[in-house]
Amino acid sequence: MSNLAEDNVVVRNVYYMMAYAFRTLDVDDFERLKTEPFDNLADLLAAILTIGISSQRRRGFEHDYNAREEDLLGVRGRIDIRGTARLRAQDRLDVACEYDEFTEDTYKNRVLKTCAGLLVRDAEVPDSRRRELKRSLISMRDVGEVDPSRIEWARLRYHRNNGSYRLLMNVCYMVVQSLILTTDEGKTSLASFTSGQRLHALYEAFVLEYFRKEHPELGVSAKVIDRKASEDAPAFLPQLCTDITLERGNRMLIIDAKCYGRILGTHHDKEILSPANLNQIQSYVMHAAYGTGLNVQGMLLYALTESEDARYESWEEIGHTWHCRTLDLGCEFKDIAAQLDEIAQLVA
């Protein structure tokens, strides 16, 4: 029973992370997911896709123009002269036509239908949820499917009119790649995607959007820091793009969110903080503070893993305050929120 309770906590936290990251927490369609129990991650993902598909159907599935070639008795679109001549040689009266068809059989919709179908066939999804998801797929009868092992995720593009697909496509990615792995002890724990950057991106977006929503009194952004370099500085110097920057008055806290790699390494048998991570946050802070008179602090905020110890450290160095903390994603969400609220107080 304890394992099941711990599993439910982690699964629900995945929902909250996604809800904040993709700004769906206040969408009425997803409201019931805040309190609904889930047996496992597949159950949660199936619930999100069930609601998401139904919601997308009401607002209208994405449509696009697909090029078609067809032999018709009438003319539609453009006449293919060479193709029509071939038909005449066969004593046929058809006209070879080329036209664009406005259809909902788009790549995103194919990915959505394919991944929903995987969950319908997943034994870990409860029967009642599978039936509900299967009913929602009836509205996608005119949409094809794709090979899930060959989905071109980089091909997906979003704009104002299809932004609601961003959450759904990320859920589909989780379905295919699996975000949650079961440990040898039978517990469920957060693990990296096949591409570890996917989980890192979700974690980073979650922290940023949590502060935006829950702390409107702060200026919250993924700020690009002015490098303060000379005019003849080489163009190859990288931009200083922060993960999360919190501002209020003359106080600023720059947070570098880390959801992969180890917190401490070893050097000559001594445990040390990652020099690369420390140098990165120090560069952000020093450039942000230079010549501005701002009180700038820096923080490395690691997602706590089973292989690491919790960290809650602060120190003074070169005129600035530095923090190294861990965020425990395996506890109740109210406790996660309390940890983040405490961080917000550093610039209150």
Note whether 84 and 209 are same-domain residues: no
Instruction: Using alpha carbons, list the distances in angstroms from residue 124 to 34, 39, 45, 121.
Output: 21, 8, 11, 9
* Average pLDDT value for residue range 134-140: 94
Whether residue 212 is predicted with pLDDT greater than 90 in this model: the reply is yes
Q: Do 125 and 6 have their domain in common? A: yes
Q: What was the pLDDT predicted at 232?
A: 87
Secondary structure percentages of the chain, helix, strand, coil, to 5: 45, 20, 35
**pLDDT surpasses 90 at 28:** no
| CATH number where 332 lies | 3.40.1350
The reported pLDDT for the residue numbered 208 is 96
Q: Are residues 245 and 142 in the same domain?
A: no
Residue 48 lies in a domain: yes
Q: Which of 191, 219, 252 is the last residue of a domain?
A: 191
Picking from 191, 224, 247, the residue at the C-terminal end of a domain is 191
Residues 246, 223, single domain; the answer is: yes
Q: Are residues 258 and 273 in the same domain?
A: yes
158 C-beta neighbours (distance < 10 Å), count: 12
Give the chain's largest Cα–Cα span. Answer: 89
How high is the pLDDT of residue 9? 66
| CA pair distance 218, 206, nearest whole angstrom | 16
Interval 259-308: pLDDT, tens: 765 666 655 566 677 888 899 999 999 999 998 999 999 999 998 866 56
User: What was the pLDDT predicted at 180?
Assistant: 45
Question: In this predicted structure, what is the pLDDT of residue 194?
Answer: 37
**For residue 266, what pLDDT is reported?**
59
Number of CB atoms found within 10 A of residue 338's CB: 11
Per the domain annotation, does 199 fall within a domain?
Answer: no
Same domain, 157 and 33: yes
Judgement on whether residues 209 and 256 belong to the same structural domain of the protein = yes
The closest of 201, 272, 288, 194 to 240, measured between CA atoms, is 288
- CA dist 115 and 146 (Å) reads 9
Q: For residues 86 and 175, state if they share a domain.
A: no
Considering the domain boundaries, does residue 143 fall inside one? yes
Domain that holds residue 30: 2-62+106-191
Which positions ≥6 away from 159 have C-beta within 8 Å? none
Q: Global pTM? A: 0.76
**pLDDT at 262 (0 to 100):** 62
Residue owning tokens 């080489």: 234
Span 99-118, pLDDT tens digits: 777 889 899 999 999 999 99
Q: Tell me, yes or no, whether 32 and 110 share the same domain.
A: yes
Which distant-in-sequence residues (6+ apart) come within 8 Å of 112 by Cβ?
49, 52, 53, 56, 140, 143, 165, 168, 169, 172
pLDDT band at 256 (very low <50, low <70, confident <90, very high): very high
Asked if residue 72 and residue 28 are part of one domain, the reply reads: no
Residue 20 has pLDDT above 50, yes or no: yes
Top mean-pLDDT range of 52-61, 230-239, 296-305, 334-343: 334-343
CA–CA distance, 258 with 243 (Å, rounded to integer): 9
Mean pLDDT across the chain: 84
Instruction: DSSP letter for 33, please.
Output: G
Closest CA to 11 of 190, 195, 200, 205: 190
Number of domains in the chain: 3
